[in-house]
A and B are shown apart, each in its own frame.
Chain A
């Protein structure tokens, strides 16, 4: 409840952002590329520097922050981005291991950098991107599936929500709304700006967005670094009321969440979170969290995975101060999209299980992740089983694809997006 403001208090917001920017300057003097149209000025334009006076040197790139001196010669670096769509011949779907009765097929291809999935009321499948400015729509027409690029030139349009006929798009620093989108796929309307006062930091700045049962839009504002004490505005999950632009903090101490969903029965928010890098091959774990109370703090940057105090930033702190995760998911696996299985196609025991898409590791010698995992909860909502659902996007240290998001379709099948193959897969079940 600490960050609470409305669009009518824009000046306050601007001050808030400027403050955040000032605090941030010590961490990461970034706020680099900005979307074309922005109402709120983040900070006054910088003064022109005298030619001979060098600017202060910056910190290392965010992925390398926190790397110990002893690992200076490490060749570990983030995996290269996927910006193209692979031909079907390069997708080794026959190598994907599934449970008995399940099968996987290539459902749509030609969607470079395919990220979050949202489904429209009329069955349109919308797909966002992180690095290439597009939003796609996949439609069935005359029995044929067609991929359209419906929006272009957006800035990090990673988060998508479909609600009341409109497509909501979360860019790096704005939430946009495209009304009546399914009837206007070939000529989308000008967007309505729902909210545009979000920070513009690039590291962990892209959004995953989901719709709450309360009608609010929930999304992440990630830490602008690998490991740092973030501004109070960051390392959080927040929500915005699309009706009036009011914003509230939902959870704090969250390094970066790129996947979240509401439990179909309890209506509690669950989300995946990425642990920090450079603390070892197997530490700390990425995590799954349950938000039982608004405003709860999950520990970042002081405590990781609920029981591991950060060797530098956690000095003088204890994990007992914070809420632990519901489940440790494994180190460096990069859990992204997650959904509760609410369909009727899969066997009855799959009902309300969580299926998580793991993008796969970089900060580890041997790659892990690159798969889908499933979490079974007991009647109290406690995870009791954590096991593979689909594996085989990586072979040794070579990956050919990277799962990003999962989405339960109306027929109960599961769609999976892949931003390296630029494709959507469909996982179905037959007795």
Chain B
């Protein structure tokens, strides 16, 4: 057990160091983000991801991917173009420090029940963590917007969205269109 607690402490330090960013500076820099991503990063617009409680490194690295045009979106890309690494780190730190609000999305209970089983069969918690809160570069999925989840999983499957190291693109190959829908309903329902 001692080893385990050491490990947690270590992981926390790594996270703290990796951020080395400023939540308050991030709040100011994120003002433009909340127009779409919602108050404190809790999105309500369909198809727009929530950023509240996302791991700081995930938000940071996705902004980098947008700026470097390795990830593209007509709405998002222009905002990332002008940001420095430091801006992105601050914005990531800010959203990581926000609380995820309960989603108001009305989940299809049947789909969510199937999705829950798929989650285990497809080992989603391996990288996204058992509570789906994400870690480091891996995004939080709990309570995420359902349309956004569907779009990303479909994109990863057909190659129109590339992930950083191919792990998620590989995982998505085993998901059918129906699977993706069911899984998204379950993920959106997780508090």
Contacts and interface: CB of A to CB of B under 8 A. Distances in A.
B109 interface: no
A126 B171 CA distance: 33
Interface residues of B, number: 45
Q: Among B65, B166, B177, which residue has the most Cβ atoms of chain A within 10 A?
A: B166
Contact of A60 (B17, B126, B136, B137): B126
Contacts of B126: 60-61, 64
Given A32-B170, A75-B7, A397 B13 contact: yes
B165 interface: yes
Interface in B5-58: 6-8, 10-11, 13-14, 17-18, 20, 57
A267 B57 CA distance: 45
A28 B171 CA distance: 9
A60 B171 CA distance: 8
Nearest to A28: B170
A133 B70 contact: yes
A276 B170 CA distance: 21
B97 interface: no
B136 A202 contact: no
Nearest to B55: A80
Contacts of A80: 18, 57, 61, 136-137
Contacts of A51: 176-178
| Interface residue tally on A, bucketed by range | 35 or more
Contacts of B118: 54, 57
Interface centre among B85, B165, B167, B170 (most CB of A within 10 A): B170
Interface string B115-143: 00010011100110000000111000000
B146 interface: no
A398 B123 contact: no
Interface string A67-92: 00000000111001101110000100
Contact of B171 (A61, A85, A132, A365): A61
A54 B178 contact: yes
B159 A34 contact: yes
A398 B70 CA distance: 28
A54 B57 contact: no
7 contacts: A49-B176, A55-B176, A61-B123, A75-B4, A202-B165, A365-B6, A366-B6
Nearest to B12: A397
